Amino acid sequence: MKKDEILSRRQIEALIAEGQSIIIVDQKVLRVDAWIPYHPGGYKAIQHVVGKDATDEFSVFHCDETRKMIGRYQIGRIEGRWKPFVPPIQGGIFRPHDEKVNEHESPLEEANEPAPSSPMVEPKHTNPDIIHNRQTKLNHAEATFLDTQTKTEITLTLSQYPSLDPKTQSTIITKYRDLHAQIQREGLYTCNYTAYVWELARCTILFCLMLVFLKHEYYKTSAVCLGWFWSQMVFAAHDAGHIAITQNFTIDSLIGMTIAGPIGGLSLGWWKQSHNIHHIVTNAPEHDPDNQHLPFLAVNHRFLSSVFSTYHERTLPYSRLARSLVPYQAYLYYIILLFGRFNLYLQSWLFLYKAQGPRKGQAKWHRSFEIFGNILFWLWFGYGLLYKSLPNASSRLSYLLISHMATMPLHVQFTVSHFAMSTTDLGPGESFAQRMLRTTMDVDCPEWLDWFHGGLQFQAVHHLYPRIPRHNLRRAQGLVVGFCREVGIPYALYGFARGNAKVVGGLAEVARQAAILEECRRVIVGRGLL
């Protein structure tokens, strides 16, 4: 194929049917299979844009050096506005080249999604006909209830946001790109390094206070200072992970991995792989790993039917444990978040152990660097601090728990901007900008409190333009608000307390739905016993 050859929709569909990873960027048709092993953000982030116009995603996520590479993967061009396919990873079905198609037939555009599996009830009868009959009734009742909830959610969402018709979405896309150009002209991608001097000073003070209190045997106070130190450092690691500090992939990766590994005991590579997918399919229950917290939390009613996670590549069962915890999740939310850092350790270790990061290209050394960094962390924290500096097992356990629980506000900040927002899948025809604003809220706070939130209070702005340095997000917010008014997209802005109230209220609503579902289950099982 020649790079300037115009490819039809049918040709592109056939290429995807053959298993090729085809995306559209700036009217260029790219076959990126050769790039996938080198992609620092993991292969699944690419899979979620196969068959789509990924111009906006590609432009706002990647630095200049990466954007210059796309020419080597170009196999053709398209004309006019591209009507996106549902990616294969999301259930899209594609016809091979040799399948005959009526020339007047419209192209296949919608995914054929299988019905979600329903949780099983342990049978108390041995007669298989009775068991099958009861389970069929149960599955039908559950599916009917959950489908009704989904339809209600979709109807409400469609009534609040701009139409999905091509003309409306094209206007949003055009104005979103105009806003991007304005942001670049105003220099909002230029990092304010002076601000990082103050960040470094704050973190240094917290770490020194931790050592002083440790020396004077104020162990609990020392542990709190360490937890706050880690939280503040995470903000800088988040910036570096998005290439938002120097705008250079290698330098920012080195900064981020140094903070995450030897200082924090975590893996930036795992975070980037998970977080990039979160940025592309934000709040999608089946696809966004930041939404998938069973058996502890179900942030949407669809988790009550055991959804299949494309990220974890397995079904997330609505198990007995989940059925016991979810009805009380509004009360357990903050308690669960107290232990959030331990989950980050687990996910980081699994990522490094399984070598899930890139093994080729400029990121191939990242795994070795992160393993070494994590060893250093447990040498200074696990051996040097916990074991050598504390007098007994009781104080060690107390220090471990307090230092980790002190990071709980950070986990609240991670979740508050998404848990209360829409989880509806409106299909591939929705623009990237509208989806980000529909699934993300900003937290309103005075400027003097920006250090506490670390830029995470501007999640909606950040999701639109992830590489903007966090110290410029407040300036970018005013431009985004103007954009939202112009295109008619609601801009969600809540105070921290009200945002938390919305999250807890949303969790309580899903808990209420879970209780209704359980009552339905008990009634049907009871009738089966008659």
What does the pLDDT look like over 227-245, one tens digit per residue? 999 999 999 999 999 999 9
Give pLDDT, residue 111: 39
Give pLDDT, residue 102: 57
Give pLDDT, residue 476: 95
Q: Are residues 266 and 384 in the same domain?
A: yes
Q: What percent of the chain has pLDDT over 70?
A: 89
Residue 450 exposure: Cα atoms within 13 Å on the Cβ side:
14
Give pLDDT, residue 503: 93
Residue 249 lies in a domain: yes
pLDDT for 21 beyond 60: yes
Residue 156 lies in a domain: no
Torsion sign, CA atoms 151, 157, 159, 165: negative
Q: Give me the number of domains the chain comprises.
A: 2
Longest dimension (CA), the chain: 81
Selected residue with higher pLDDT from 490 and 138: 490
What one-character DSSP code corresponds to residue 88? G
Residue 442 lies in a domain: yes
Q: Are residues 271 and 419 in the same domain?
A: yes
Q: Are residues 196 and 57 in the same domain?
A: no
Confidence of residue 113 (pLDDT cuts 50, 70, 90): very low
Which helix (H) or strand (E) covers residue 33, if one does?
Answer: none
pLDDT for 110 beyond 80: no
Cis peptide before 128 (omega within 30 of 0): no
Q: How many angstroms separate the CA atoms of 148 and 153, rounded?
A: 9
User: Which residues form the domain of 61?
Assistant: 9-90
Residue 79 exposure: Cα atoms within 13 Å on the Cβ side:
5
Catalogue the E-assigned strands of 33-159. Answer: 74-77
**DSSP symbols for 453-522:** HTTGGGHHHHHHSTTS-GGGHHHHHHHHHHHHHHHT----EEEHHHHHHHHHHHHHHHHHHHHHHHHHHH
Confidence of residue 482 (pLDDT cuts 50, 70, 90): very high
pLDDT for 463 beyond 90: yes
Name the burial class of residue 24, with classes exposed (0-12), middle (13-18) and buried (19+) by CB atoms within 10 angstroms of its CB: buried
Give pLDDT, residue 100: 64
Confidence of residue 527 (pLDDT cuts 50, 70, 90): low
Q: Are residues 438 and 327 in the same domain?
A: yes
Confidence of residue 142 (pLDDT cuts 50, 70, 90): low
Which helix (H) or strand (E) covers residue 182, if one does?
Answer: helix 166-185
Residue 430 lies in a domain: yes
Any idea what the CATH number is for the domain that residue 38 is in?
A: 3.10.120.10
Give the global pTM. 0.86
Give pLDDT, residue 65: 75
Question: Helix, strand or coil for residue 25?
Answer: strand
Over residues 64-91, the pLDDT tens digits come to 777 778 888 888 898 888 899 999 999 8
Residue 501 lies in a domain: no
Choose one of 57, 90, 123: the last residue of a domain.
90
Question: Helix, strand or coil for residue 29?
Answer: strand
Residue 159 lies in a domain: no
pLDDT for 518 beyond 60: yes
- Give me the count of residues in the chain: 530
pLDDT for 171 beyond 90: yes
Give pLDDT, residue 124: 35
Average pLDDT over residues 158-187: 92
Choose one of 90, 111, 138: the last residue of a domain.
90
Q: Are residues 75 and 193 in the same domain?
A: no
pLDDT for 472 beyond 60: yes
Q: Are residues 240 and 381 in the same domain?
A: yes
Confidence of residue 133 (pLDDT cuts 50, 70, 90): very low
Selected residue with higher pLDDT from 354 and 107: 354
Nearest to 71 by CA among 103, 40, 26: 26
Residue 514 lies in a domain: no
Question: Helix, strand or coil for residue 220?
Answer: helix
Choose one of 39, 74, 90: the last residue of a domain.
90
- Yes or no: say if 296 and 419 are a contact pair by the CB < 8 Å rule: no
Alpha-helical (H) ranges within 320-431 are: 320-325, 329-337, 340-353, 366-377, 388-389, 393-405, 408-416
Confidence of residue 392 (pLDDT cuts 50, 70, 90): very high
Q: What integer best gives the mean pLDDT of the chain? A: 86
The secondary structure of 264-299, three-state, reads: CCCCHHHHHHHHHHHHHCCCCCCCCHHHEECCCEEC
Residue 157 lies in a domain: no
Dihedral, CA of residue 262, residue 268, residue 270 and residue 275, to nearest 10: 150
